[in-house]
């Protein structure tokens, strides 16, 4: 029996209400996050996902509806928003833009200090947070955060939120602006936070292929409302709707759909390369033109070059 750690009930929110620029960002949104989950929220820019996550930790107050964290309505009198912000750690996009302290340790300590932890607790929190994101405390604690590489800065920023020891970690596009290597590192770290350290994680992402690999549940937003919800496999079945919403599906999922349209229906709910491989391989090895050359190729093994590859050209 899992417990719900965040619950958003019938929330509506309009930016710049009462002015000619008013824009409704959330319309009767209902979302619940269970403890221990790894949930991804997807949707195009303007769908309301950033607005939604800012309701999770009380940065925005709904015009109507309620937000319940750990069983308590956070907008009821007597609830300290600082407590909620400790419980629900929010990492914004490009979090490295919030660094400001003279040393890495001081910056990571910002949140614990704001929460009035004792200096001993603060120090422990900083060390632990740096350990979790794979930053060497001794090497980096006294350096200026502005001297670090982009990837390191981002990890310092994430550590700054982890140092609060939140129960839920909400990350808004943690891989924004990163190259493939950087993306893989961040995603691996998130997976570790979830599997090894037990964090409940809410991920906002644009990459269907990333969420297909990691998320247990997807929440799809469009025009300020939740339009789809379910496991990645379930959600990606609605390929046409997703494309219409400007989202799409993982490339391999699209591949299987195209094959089906060509009269070659293999398993439809394939969402990763591994799954596609396992589905297609038997079919291709058993294909009429395949049998003769299959054994020859298999013998040659991996490393067969495709087409007219010319090998490496160096300078």
Between the CA of residue 234 and those of 51, 192, 219, 220, 248, what are the distances in Å? Answer: 25, 25, 11, 12, 14
Give one word for 10, left, alpha or beta, with left for phi > 0 and alpha for psi -120 to 50: left
User: For another protein, how many residues bind (rule: CB under 8 A)?
Assistant: 83
Residue 305 touches another protein, criterion: CB under 8 A? yes
Minimum distance from CB of 314 to another protein (Å)? 7
SS3 state at 82: helix
**DSSP at 97:** G
Select the residue interacting with another protein from 65, 70, 230, 254 (CB under 8 A): 254
Minimum distance from CB of 2 to another protein (Å)? 25
Task: Write out the binding residues for another protein, residues 99-118 only, by CB under 8 A.
Answer: 99-100, 110-111, 114-115
In the complex with another protein, the residue whose CB is nearer, 10 or 41, is 41
In the complex with another protein, the residue whose CB is nearer, 38 or 88, is 88
Residues 208, 224: Cα–Cα separation, whole Å: 19
What is the phi/psi pair of residue 222, to 5°? -150, 130
Select the residue interacting with another protein from 18, 71, 78, 307 (CB under 8 A): 307
Task: Write out the binding residues for another protein, residues 162-191 only, by CB under 8 A.
Answer: 164, 176-177, 179-182
In the complex with another protein, the residue whose CB is nearer, 2 or 309, is 309
**DSSP at 145:** G
Select the residue interacting with another protein from 103, 259, 268, 269 (CB under 8 A): 259
Task: Write out the binding residues for another protein, residues 200-239 only, by CB under 8 A.
Answer: 206, 209
Residues 203, 44: Cα–Cα separation, whole Å: 14
In the complex with another protein, the residue whose CB is nearer, 1 or 306, is 306
Select the residue interacting with another protein from 51, 54, 175, 200 (CB under 8 A): 54
Residues 293, 303: Cα–Cα separation, whole Å: 16
Task: Write out the binding residues for another protein, residues 273-302 only, by CB under 8 A.
Answer: 273, 276-277, 280-281, 283-285, 287-290, 293-295, 297-298, 301-302
In the complex with another protein, the residue whose CB is nearer, 1 or 16, is 16
Q: 47, 224 in Cβ contact below 8 A?
A: yes
Minimum distance from CB of 231 to another protein (Å)? 19
Task: Write out the binding residues for another protein, residues 14-33 only, by CB under 8 A.
Answer: 20-21
Minimum distance from CB of 139 to another protein (Å)? 16
Between the CA of residue 113 and those of 45, 129, 163, 168, what are the distances in Å? Answer: 34, 14, 10, 19
Helix, strand, coil shares of the chain, percent, nearest 5, are 40, 20, 40
In the complex with another protein, the residue whose CB is nearer, 68 or 115, is 115
Residue 240 touches another protein, criterion: CB under 8 A? no
250 burial (CB, 10 Å; 0-12 / 13-18 / 19+) is buried
Residues making up the chain, counted from first to last = 315
Minimum distance from CB of 115 to another protein (Å)? 5
């Amino acid at each position: 029996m899992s417990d719900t750690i965040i619950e958003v009930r019938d929330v509506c929110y309009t930016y710049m209400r009462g002015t000619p620029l008013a824009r409704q960002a959330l319309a009767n949104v209902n979302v619940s996050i269970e403890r221990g989950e790894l949930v991804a929220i997807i949707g195009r820019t303007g769908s309301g996902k950033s607005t939604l996550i800012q309701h999770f930790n009380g940065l925005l107050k709904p015009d109507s509806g309620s937000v319940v964290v750990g069983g308590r309505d956070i907008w009821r009198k007597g609830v300290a928003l600082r407590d909620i912000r400790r419980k629900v750690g929010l990492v914004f996009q490009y979090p490295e833009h919030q660094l400001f302290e003279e040393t890495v340790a001081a910056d990571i300590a910002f949140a614990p200090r704001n929460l009035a932890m004792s200096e001993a607790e603060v120090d422990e929190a900083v060390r632990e947070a740096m350990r979790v994101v794979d930053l060497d405390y001794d090497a980096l604690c006294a350096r200026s955060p502005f001297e670090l590489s982009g990837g390191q800065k981002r990890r310092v920023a994430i550590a700054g939120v982890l140092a609060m020891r939140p129960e839920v970690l909400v990350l808004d596009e943690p891989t924004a602006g990163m190259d493939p290597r950087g993306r893989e590192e961040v995603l691996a770290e998130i997976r570790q936070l979830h599997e090894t350290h037990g964090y409940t994680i809410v991920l906002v992402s644009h990459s269907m292929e990333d969420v297909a690999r990691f998320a247990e549940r997807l929440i799809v937003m469009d025009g300020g409302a939740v339009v789809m919800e379910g496991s990645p496999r379930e959600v990606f079945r609605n390929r046409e709707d997703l494309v219409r919403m400007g989202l799409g599906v993982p490339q391999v999922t699209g591949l299987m759909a195209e094959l089906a349209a060509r009269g070659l229906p293999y398993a439809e709910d394939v969402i990763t390369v591994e799954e596609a491989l396992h589905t297609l391989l038997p079919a291709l090895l058993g294909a009429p033109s395949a049998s003769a050359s299959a054994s020859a190729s298999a013998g040659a093994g991996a490393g067969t070059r495709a087409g007219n590859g010319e090998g490496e050209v160096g300078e």
